[in-house]
Amino acid sequence: MRVGIQILSQVVCLVDSPKGFRLFGMNWLQLFHLAAQSIQRIRSASGAIKAFVFYFLMTFRTLNEARWILGPLLVIWILGFLFYPLCTLPITLALAFTVYFFRDPERLTPSDPKAIVSPADGKVVSVEEVEETEFLHKRMQRISIFLSVFDVHVNRAPIEGTVVHSTFKKGAFFDARDPRSSMANQSRSWLFSDGKNQVVVRQITGAIARRIVAWSQVGDKLQKGERFGMIRFGSRTELYLPLDAKIEITVGAPVRGGQSVLALFS
């Protein structure tokens, strides 16, 4: 016991003296700083890796929705390259545009709890007071957004909250810029609630876009700006807000899903 205490005392004295302990030409204090820096670098690298993996998974999810067109195009491109190389240019352009269309960029979502962000990329085509007939059955403010084939078609939650309802409705395929598309076209409606406020998002197909994809389901709790679905090719997205919400956007303005503030809760 006494011998153990003496050895421990000598070790403590040795470590306590910057000149008494050296490894690779560094004293214990320098080694401590080096270890701390190494841990910080590992943590930073780990965060970057996690971010990369998350972005890869999100991109793969959207590209997976394009498998029905990417697969045939890729087969045609390979056959063309083997037998008619000069004919592969239009197929290459089609492949490139398909990958571009199904892109899913990251967005910086505002932290203001009162902010209601856009559920889609595109251009605001109307802001009006209407009757919401799907879930709440009352007068609300509706912001309609048209998505061209050049816009990102991933839809994002306008508020932080829970998916209370989600309903799919079959219908027609009018051009998404046609006012009739709002009620007549095939659509999926979502009711989001944060416990105090309720908003409705309606994904609407167009003349070209004929498939609505749902990634979330009833009961899911989503962060503001989190992805919940997408519409393939040109389409329309509508956001229904309480009458006392303050609209922060005008008709004709371009918006980005999960980033542009469309309105503020009172």
pLDDT tens-digit series, residues 45-89: 555 555 445 455 556 677 777 777 888 888 888 888 888 888 888
> Which listed residue (216, 235, 260, 266) is catalytic?
235
The per-residue pLDDT of the chain, averaged, comes to 82
Domain-wise residue ranges, the chain? 2-61, 65-101, 115-264
Of residues 42 and 164, the one with the higher pLDDT is 164
Q: What is the DSSP letter of 133?
A: T
Number of other CB atoms surrounding residue 62 within 10 Å: 21
Rounded percentage of the chain residues whose pLDDT exceeds 90? 48
The b-or-e profile of 6-17 (16+ CB within 10 A means b, else e) is eeeeeeeeeeee
Residue 78 is inside which H or E element, if any? helix 67-83
pLDDT digits (tens, 9 = 90+) for 187-224: 999 999 999 999 999 999 887 757 898 999 999 999 99
Q: Which pLDDT score, from 0 to 100, does residue 23 have?
A: 47
Nearest to 212 by CA among 201, 198, 226, 197: 201
Q: Decide if 166 is catalytic.
A: no
For residue 235, pLDDT over 70 is answered with yes
What pTM did the predictor assign? 0.75
Range scoring the smallest mean pLDDT among 25-34, 153-162, 234-243: 25-34
Q: Which pLDDT score, from 0 to 100, does residue 24 have?
A: 47
The b-or-e profile of 107-134 (16+ CB within 10 A means b, else e) is bebeeeeebbbbbbbbbbbebeeeebee
Q: Output phi, psi for 136, to 5 deg.
A: -90, -25
Q: Which pLDDT score, from 0 to 100, does residue 25 have?
A: 55
Q: Which pLDDT score, from 0 to 100, does residue 50 have?
A: 55
What's the Cα-to-Cα distance from 149 to each of 53, 214, 222, rounded to whole Å? 27, 19, 27
pLDDT digits (tens, 9 = 90+) for 170-197: 988 887 777 788 888 899 999 999 999 9
CATH T-level topology, domain 115-264: Glucose Permease (Domain IIA) (2.70.70)
**Cβ distance 191 to 160 under 8 Å?**
no
